[in-house]
């Protein structure tokens, strides 16, 4: 159509699709491999939950299978995320997948020999969950390496579809295989399916990373910086809060579904597989409509709608007595699950710069599985004490209340901020030698501000404080010179000289916009920047035991 006479027609924006990421060969190959592996994983999950109902039918014990699967993510995702930001992601993932394959073979052998018991089943579920925990942040952080930024939302949604394709196929296939071949077969198929991702990782060649002259971060320091970034990244923090409000209550139907199939409907493993497959099919159907829905509602309303849909499914699970109603509840649950999970995942991805992506995603994974672990244990205990319907109804009420309680925490739906490194900070000019580990380092920035702009300047620089802390500063403040009107000094501390050099590389183009908005208040061309290094006193200058205690106190 034409927007004015004589002007060329303006093309309508393309309708968003969940499938545009498949134009990229690397993504298509990795997606296919992970679907194969995840199908094996879901066969294992269904078989292990069903095996536990045969070994021990108590509701709390059955729910511990979900706990054993989720708890490792809560315990290990943070160090795993730090590792994924430090080491080569591809080699790291290959090593983890090999270890996972060894664990899977061992568990299959025990089931096949009839030596599996409840304790060993929970142990191997925990070990496989631990391997998945170490792999999860790295898997999520390579997604931006497989597709360009405009297709990131499509890639995240497609990955969600892949998980749910495997969820639809795996449990149903697992139930059939158990009935025909035996309970050990899904365990062996899970072990063999890992070779798909190992092969895809060996084939893939990631794009060259931006070179850095600085050594990699140390693990403990990287974890600390990751926590600090999460604390001061308001968009990431909002996503984590919304995640807790959803996953804690949604965990109820995941943990209790085997008992719904066995106790409420009197079904067998085939029915349990069908119910899990119905969740997957619902998620696949929801993924087709999700781009269109998100374009009209935005991420916040999509998450609210998905949470409300989950509450409806929980009510249906509480009232279910027939298989048809259970299947309907599973379809609604699956549609709601993909809507919430994909929206939260996109919000995390677009809120993180590359240098901390693994750690930020690890925060999300930790929150996800921490809420699932705590929720599974709680709802299993509630079901043991008060019955399955009471647990489902209570979880449904909590999910609805969570929508209102967390509504003020807003999500991001697109990569509208440029989080690529700006590299606009000039290299510090040194006249003294600075060791890499020397610290702490005090950086001061002196501004000259007109009296009429004082309040506006202070409001602007408060936004800058979050950036300094996100990028590595552990202390920040602003001081006004009492003897020099209009002179303000911003100060922030970092742990070492090397950490400050890393700070230079972490500043993004979006950060630069905020910094420029602060510096426009400065009367001169550029604020005065000073770097102050903590000094090391010579040994003969330190007080001895015979010296005055007050002098020693002053040197501390």
Find the mean pLDDT for residues 527-532: 88
Q: Is residue 3 scored above 50 in pLDDT? A: no
Check residue 538 and give its pLDDT: 74
pLDDT tens for 480-524 read: 999 888 899 999 999 888 888 888 888 888 888 888 888 888 877
Any idea which of 100-109, 120-129, 201-210, 429-438 has the lowest mean pLDDT? 429-438
Q: Is residue 209 scored above 80 in pLDDT? A: no
Helices marked H in 211-268: 219-232, 234-259
Report the distance separating Cα 434 and Cα 454, nearest Å: 36
Residues making up the chain, counted from first to last: 556
Find the mean pLDDT for residues 123-143: 85
Any idea which of 174-183, 390-399, 472-481, 535-544 has the lowest mean pLDDT? 535-544
User: In the CATH scheme, what is the homologous superfamily, with its name and number, of domain 20-204+217-405?
Assistant: MFS general substrate transporter like domains (1.20.1250.20)
* Angle at which helices 388-405 and 269-319 cross, to 10°: 60
- pLDDT bin (cut points 50, 70, 90) of residue 545 is low
Phi, psi of 397 (to 5 degrees): -65, -40
Q: Is residue 16 scored above 60 in pLDDT? A: no
Residue 463: C-alpha distances to residues 468, 493, 550 (Å): 9, 17, 40
- pLDDT bin (cut points 50, 70, 90) of residue 18 is low
Which residues, other chains included, contact 56 with Cβ-Cβ below 8 Å and sequence gap of 6+? 62, 118
* Angle at which helices 269-319 and 234-259 cross, to 10°: 110
Report the distance separating Cα 488 and Cα 484, nearest Å: 9
Q: Is residue 9 scored above 50 in pLDDT? A: no
CB-neighbour burial class of residue 201 (10 A; exposed 0-12, middle 13-18, buried 19+):
buried
- pLDDT bin (cut points 50, 70, 90) of residue 166 is confident
The angle formed by the CA atoms of residues 453, 457 and 461, to the nearest 5 degrees, is 175
Report the distance separating Cα 325 and Cα 273, nearest Å: 15
Residue 439, SS3 per DSSP: coil
- pLDDT bin (cut points 50, 70, 90) of residue 57 is low
Q: In whole numbers, what is the pLDDT of the chain averaged over residues?
A: 83
Q: Tell me, what DSSP letter sits at residue 411?
A: P
Which residue ranges make up each domain of the chain?
Answer: 20-204+217-405, 441-541
Find the mean pLDDT for residues 415-427: 77
- pLDDT bin (cut points 50, 70, 90) of residue 400 is very high
Report the distance separating Cα 551 and Cα 555, nearest Å: 7
pLDDT tens for 301-312 read: 999 999 999 999
Any idea which of 105-109, 215-219, 372-376 has the lowest mean pLDDT? 215-219
**DSSP codes, 285-338:** HHHHHHHHHHHHHHHHHHHHHHHHHHHHHHHHHHH--SHHHHHHHHHHHHHHHH
Q: What kind of fold does domain 441-541 have according to CATH?
A: Alpha-Beta Plaits (3.30.70)
Residue 502's nearest CA partner among 473, 464, 461 is 473
More confident: 314 or 273: 314
Percent of the chain having pLDDT more than 90? 21
Q: Tell me, what DSSP letter sits at residue 174?
A: H
Tokens of 552: 């020693």
For the chain, counts of helices (H) and of strands (E): 17, 4
Residue 70's nearest CA partner among 374, 525, 516, 281 is 374
Report the distance separating Cα 367 and Cα 372, nearest Å: 8
For residues 512 and 520, is the Cβ–Cβ distance under 8 A?
Answer: no
Check residue 12 and give its pLDDT: 46
Check residue 550 and give its pLDDT: 45
Tokens of 253: 């139907």
């Amino acid at each position: 159509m034409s927007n004015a006479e004589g002007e060329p027609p303006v093309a309508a924006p393309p309708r968003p699709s969940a499938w545009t990421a498949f134009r990229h060969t690397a993504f298509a190959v990795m997606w296919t491999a992970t679907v194969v592996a995840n199908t094996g994983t879901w066969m294992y999950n269904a078989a292990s939950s069903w095996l536990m109902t045969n070994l021990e039918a108590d509701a709390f014990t059955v729910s511990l299978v979900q706990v054993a699967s989720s708890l490792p993510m809560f315990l290990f995702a943070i160090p795993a995320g730090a590792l994924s930001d430090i080491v080569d992601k591809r080699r790291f993932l290959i090593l983890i997948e090999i270890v996972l394959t060894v664990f899977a073979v061992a568990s299959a052998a025990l089931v096949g020999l009839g030596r599996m018991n409840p304790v060993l089943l929970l142990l191997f579920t925990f070990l496989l969950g631990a391997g998945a925990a170490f792999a999860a942040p790295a898997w999520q952080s390579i997604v931006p390496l497989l597709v360009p930024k405009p297709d990131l939302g499509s890639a995240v949604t497609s990955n969600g579809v892949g998980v749910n394709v495997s969820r639809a196929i795996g449990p149903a296939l697992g139930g059939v295989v158990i009935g025909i071949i035996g309970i050990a077969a899904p365990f062996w198929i899970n072990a063999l399916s890992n070779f798909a991702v190992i092969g895809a990782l060996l084939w893939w060649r990631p794009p060259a990373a931006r070179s850095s002259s600085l050594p990699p971060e140390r693990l403990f320091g990287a974890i600390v910086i990751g926590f600090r970034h999460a604390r001061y990244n308001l968009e990431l923090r909002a996503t984590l809060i919304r995640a807790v409000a959803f996953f804690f209550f949604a965990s109820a139907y995941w943990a209790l579904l085997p008992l719904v199939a066995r106790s409420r409907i009197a079904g067998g493993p085939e029915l349990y597989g069908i119910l899990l497959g119905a969740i997957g099919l619902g998620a696949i159907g929801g993924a087709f409509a999700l781009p269109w829905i998100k374009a009209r509602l935005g991420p916040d309303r999509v998450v609210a709608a998905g949470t409300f849909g989950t509450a409806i499914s929980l009510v249906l699970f509480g009232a279910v007595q027939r298989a048809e109603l259970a299947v309907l509840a599973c379809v609604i649950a699956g549609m709601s699950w993909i809507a919430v999970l994909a929206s939260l995942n996109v919000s995390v991805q677009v809120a993180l710069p590359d240098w901390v992506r693994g750690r930020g995603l690890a925060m999300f994974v930790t929150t996800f599985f921490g809420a699932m672990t705590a929720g599974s244990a709680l709802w299993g205990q509630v079901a043991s004490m008060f019955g399955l319907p009471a647990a489902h109804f209570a979880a449904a009420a909590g999910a609805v209340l969570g929508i209102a309680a967390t509504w003020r925490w807003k999500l991001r739906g697109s990569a509208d901020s440029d989080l690529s490194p700006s590299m606009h900070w000039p290299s510090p000019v040194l006249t003294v030698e600075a060791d890499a580990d020397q610290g702490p380092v005090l950086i001061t920035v002196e501004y000259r501000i007109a009296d009429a702009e004082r309040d506006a300047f202070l409001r602007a620089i408060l936004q800058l404080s979050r950036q300094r802390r996100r990028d590595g500063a552990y202390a920040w403040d602003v001081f006004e010179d009492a003897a020099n009107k209009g002179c303000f000094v911003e100060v922030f501390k970092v742990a070492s000289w090397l950490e400050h050099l890393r700070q230079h590389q972490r500043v993004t183009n979006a950060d630069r916009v905020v910094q420029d908005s602060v510096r426009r208040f400065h009367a001169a061309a550029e604020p005065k920047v000073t770097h102050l290094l903590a000094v090391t006193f010579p040994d003969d200058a330190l007080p001895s035991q015979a010296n005055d205690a007050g002098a020693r106190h002053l040197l501390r």
